[in-house]
A = this chain, B = another copy of it.
Amino acid sequence: MVRQNVVVDNDRCSIARALGVVGERWSLLVVRDVVNGVRRFEELREHLGVARNVLSRRLAELVDAGLLDRVAYREFGSRERYEYALTPAGRDLWPVLMTLMAWGDRHLADGPPPVEHEHLGCGGKVALVPVCEHGHDVDPADLGLRLGR
């Protein structure tokens, strides 16, 4: 990637704004777990190994930010409880999780990738690749930044 001087104020930068919402380790781990079907408070607490109050706070923030919906459920003989479902904005975080996973696989894993993305049907492994609006595959060396128009 070419490093150009395309510096915008933090309050306009979409990366800064995104990290203002999901730039906390537990937030993206919660989204990852909900993607993977871990949706209930106790399941999340157990899988994440996070303190109850921290998890409560993160879930409330993610609901307030419009990334998760809180859905009531009741098991026979129990009081009403809540589970969490992704909103469209929360679901749209899948490419962020995918690039974090690819980076971790490449630089931090101590073996083959534990989880892969697959193309359902053909079964091929899926990666995110840079493609331009004119249909060219873009070599990272030919990727630049410019101010928006």
Contacts and interface: CB of A to CB of B under 8 A. Distances in A.
Interface of A: 1-8, 10, 12-25, 28-29, 32-33, 35-38, 47-49, 89, 91-109, 112-122, 124-134, 136, 138, 140, 142-149
Contacts of A140: 94
**Copies of this chain:** 2
A29 B10 contact: yes
Nearest to A108: B17
A20 B25 contact: yes
A108 B35 CA distance: 21
Nearest to A20: B25
B149 A112 contact: yes
A104 B94 CA distance: 13
